[in-house]
Structures are given as C-alpha cells and as structure tokens.
C-alpha cells in the first residue's frame, strides 16, 4: 500500500483571531466566521469533514461528530504573507519578516529598476490591484510606463497591459526586479500582473507569475525529493518554492481548475505528494472585501469534496489548510493574522479526531513527513492522533 499525501491550501482561509493578532493590527479578524455570518454559504461536505470544528478551541455540543479529523494551527513565523505561511507549512519558519512598504518603495529600489527597464514607473504606492487599473490603466496604455505598486503583503507588483508590454518582457522586468531586491529590500515576491481590456473594462489575466525569493533553508519538498519522492505542484506552489523539490508542476487559472486538476492527479497520477494552492479565495475575494464572492467560492470547493474523497486510495491522506487569513469584512484589503484550519480525510482517518490547537503550521509538514516516511524538519506530527497504526 503506497502512502500518498494530498495537501490543499485554501489561500487566505483563516478560522479565527490568532493570539498575537494585536501585534499585526488584526484583533477580531475571523475570516470563516464572518463569511458564515454575512455570506451564509451552504457547506454540507466541508462541514461533514470538520471545517466548522476548526473555529473553536473546544467544539460546541451542537456540532455533530465529523467524518474527518480537525484542528487549527497558529503561525509561529513573524509574518502573515503567502510565502511565509507556505514555507512554515513545509517546515521552514522565518524569525524575521519580509519587509513591507506601506509608503511605496524608496529611490534606492525604484531608480535601479527604472534604469533596468529603461523607462519610468507609475504609481509606486500601496494599492488595490483592481482599483489601480481603474486609476492608472489609461495612462499606462498611453505612455507604456508600468504600474508599480505593493500591498500589505511583502510584494513588488508590476502591472502592464498585454498589448502594450509583451508578457515575456513583463516577466523579464520581474526578473530584473528580483535581482535588485536584495537585503534589506528582499521582498517575499515580485509579481507580474498582466491585464487586458479597454478603458473602464480592464481585467487581470491568468498569466500572473510570482517570482519568489528562494527558500532560506531546507523545506519538506527538498527533503522529499532527496528521498526519491515525487512532488506534484498545482497552482502557484512552484512559484512560492522557486521550483525546489518539485518534480512536476501545473499552473492553474482558477480555483475550479485547481480542484479539478487535483482530483485528476489523485485518480490518474502516481505522485507521492500532491500540493495545491487555491488562490481565488485570497486574490478575488479576500483582497477585494467580497464576502458573497468568497462564500460562493467556498460552496464551489464544497461541491467537489465528495468526488475528491471518493478518489482516495488506501494509503492516501488528504488535508485542507491555509497560509494566513483574509477576512473580507476587514476595513483593509490586507491579509489577517489568524489561526488556519486543518481538516483531514482518507482511509483510516478517525471520525472526529481532534488535534486541538497547534503552535506552528510546521506540525502539518511534520505529519506529511511521517506519513511519507521522510524525517521531519520541524514541528510535531499529529499523524498518530488522526490515523493510529493498525
């Protein structure tokens, strides 16, 4: 019986205020709780596996015993961004956060970037990705100057119209920025943000690409590869880990595409570890404060859960989690410092197994490592609590 692990990161699906949320200005942020309150999604399948149980230190008596295992993870790293969260899930915890630029990037960053691309930039401030297209899209199309902006995350984002700046040129600009952004300005990600359309109707495209800083140490993906295991990455996982430890990768265009490709990988492929990021929760709804859109996105995932579980084979372990919060009811459009869920399913997973509140995301990676027979890097495995040895 081959042991396989499938981990699905629901990007931005927090499940309650983290103990240190006040340090990040995130007191009272509760992504899932607020979506349930205001969006009222129907989530029978995720609820049946234990998602609602992850919102509590102790589940209330009214919740039925779920058909999966559950718990919640607190972030140990000093940050609340995508890169930091994913790395910690895979056993690499950062003590120092990536730098943030709420007032825009300084001249020592912008000027060499402008020299590298041989033109001036527009904007250079923290902004919503969709709002900035409305504000500066026309000027960009007229001048050819790229739109440079950041957010509450550690990102250097470059937006350009695909008819004005060819996609390969935009990617080359991002690589140039990545070379320029060295400590102390080593942002977590440089992001290409291509868009199309005309005045008043600009839309970002799926050809977004993340140029992440390489992991600063070994991750579970590296270790799995060294032990001869095959990691199949879906969504932006390849970008987040700079391809390290990944045997095969597929970039996806939507949550639905990512979910369908995950199910296909479970059914048709023979990888040891399938690692998926579902980014729509964060980019389309959390960052845009779209509660109803977030609720519908959760319902979409919920509708695929039965097929996903049915595709599992003996020896498979499926886990849902997240990398940070993204409360759409927040007054800002930034990520939020929250607990993230852990919901597990698969043959042999005990109904109602409660792993409690864990002190680090790395416990998930340690569990995957034990399941796959790989020495863990950090964290404490909870595999024995959810699927005891026969």
- Whole-prediction pTM value? 0.91
Instruction: Provide the token pair at 324.
Output: 């940070």
Helix/strand/coil (H/E/C) assignment for every residue in the chain: CCCEEEEEEECCCCCCECCCHHHHCCCCCCHHHHHHHHCCCCCHHHHHHCCHHHHCCCCCCCCCCCCCEEEEECCCCCCCCHHHHHHHHCCCCCCCCCCCCCCCCCHHHHHHHHHHHCCCCEEEEECCHHHHHHHHHHHHHHHCCCEEEECCCCEEEEEEECCCCCHHHHHHHHHHHHHHCCCCCCCCEEEEEEEECCCCCCEECCCCEEEECCCCCCCHHHHHHHCCCCEEEECCHHHHCCCCCCCEEECCCCHHHHHHHHHHHHHHCCCCEEEEEECHHHHHHHCCCCHHHHHHHHHHHHHHHHHHHHCCCCCEEEEEECCCECCCCCCCCCCECECEEEEEECCCCCCCCEEEEECCCHHHHHHHHHHHCCCCCCCCCCHHHHCCCC
With 0-12 / 13-18 / 19 or more C-beta atoms within 10 angstroms meaning exposed / middle / buried, residue 71 is: buried
Residue ranges, CATH 3.40.720.10, the chain: 4-97+215-386
| Cβ pair 263, 307 in contact under 8 A | yes
Q: Show the tokens assigned to 76.
A: 């140990």
Q: What is the C-alpha to C-alpha distance for residues 134 and 250, in angstroms, rounded to an integer?
A: 31
- Tell me the average confidence (pLDDT) per consecutive run of 10 residues in the chain, 390 residues long: 94 97 94 97 98 92 92 95 96 92 96 98 90 94 97 92 97 98 95 94 91 95 98 96 97 96 97 97 90 98 98 97 94 90 97 97 98 95 87
Beta bridge pairs of residue 212: 189
Q: Are 165 and 143 in contact (CB under 8 A)?
A: no
pLDDT the model gives residue 60? 82
- With contact defined as beta carbons under 8 Å apart, do 276 and 318 qualify? no
Q: What is the pLDDT of residue 283?
A: 87
User: Tokens 């890097």 correspond to what residue?
Assistant: 377
- Predicted confidence at residue 333, as pLDDT, reads 79
Question: Quick one: tokens of 41?
Answer: 């999604």
Residue with tokens 């109904």: 351
CATH class assigned to 107-212:
alpha beta
- Given CATH 1.10.150.120, say whether it is the number of domain 4-97+215-386: no
d(CA 350, CA 238): 32
- Listed residue (138, 145, 155) closest to 197, CA to CA: 138
- Residue ranges, comma separated, of all CATH 3.30.70.1250 domains in the chain are 107-212
State the pairing for strand pair 189-196/155-161. Answer: parallel
CA 169 to chain centre: 26
Q: Which pLDDT score, from 0 to 100, does residue 390 have?
A: 52
């Amino acid at each position: 019986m081959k042991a396989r692990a499938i981990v699905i990161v629901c990007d931005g699906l927090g499940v309650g205020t983290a103990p240190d949320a006040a340090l990040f200005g995130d007191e009272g942020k509760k992504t899932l709780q607020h979506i349930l309150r205001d969006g009222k999604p129907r989530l029978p399948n995720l609820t049946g596996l234990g998602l609602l149980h992850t919102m509590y230190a102790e589940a209330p008596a009214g919740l039925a015993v779920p058909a999966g295992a559950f718990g919640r993870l607190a972030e140990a790293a000093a940050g609340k961004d995508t890169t930091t969260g994913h790395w910690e899930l895979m056993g690499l915890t950062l003590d120092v956060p990536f730098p943030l630029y709420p007032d825009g990037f300084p001249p020592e960053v912008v000027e060499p970037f402008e020299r590298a691309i041989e033109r001036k930039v527009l904007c250079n401030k923290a902004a919503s990705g969709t709002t900035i297209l409305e504000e500066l899209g026309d000027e960009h199309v007229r001048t050819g100057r790229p739109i440079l902006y950041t957010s509450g995350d550690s990102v250097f984002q470059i937006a350009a119209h695909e008819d004005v700046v060819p996609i390969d040129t935009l990617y080359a600009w991002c690589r140039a920025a990545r070379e320029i952004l060295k400590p102390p300005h080593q942002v977590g990600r440089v992001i290409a943000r291509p868009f199309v359309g005309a005045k008043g109707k600009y839309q970002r495209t799926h050809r977004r690409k993340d140029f992440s800083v390489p992991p600063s140490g070994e991750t579970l993906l590296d270790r799995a590869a060294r032990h001869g295991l095959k990691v199949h990455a879906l969504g932006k996982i390849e970008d987040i880990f700079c391809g390290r430890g990944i045997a095969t990768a597929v970039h996806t265009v939507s949550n639905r595409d990512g979910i369908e490709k995950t199910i296909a990988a479970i059914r048709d492929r023979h990888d040891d570890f399938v690692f998926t990021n579902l980014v729509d929760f964060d980019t389309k709804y959390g960052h845009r404060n779209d509660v109803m859109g977030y609720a519908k996105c959760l319902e979409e995932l919920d509708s695929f859960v039965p097929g996903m579980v049915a595709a599992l084979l003996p020896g498979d372990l499926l886990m849902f989690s997240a990398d940070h919060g993204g409360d759409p009811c927040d007054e800002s459009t930034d990520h939020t410092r929250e607990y993230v869920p852990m919901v597990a399913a698969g043959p042999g997973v005990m109904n109602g197994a409660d792993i409690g509140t864990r002190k680090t995301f790395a416990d998930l990676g340690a569990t995957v490592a034990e399941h796959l027979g790989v020495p863990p890097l950090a964290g404490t495995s909870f595999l024995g609590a959810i699927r005891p040895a026969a």
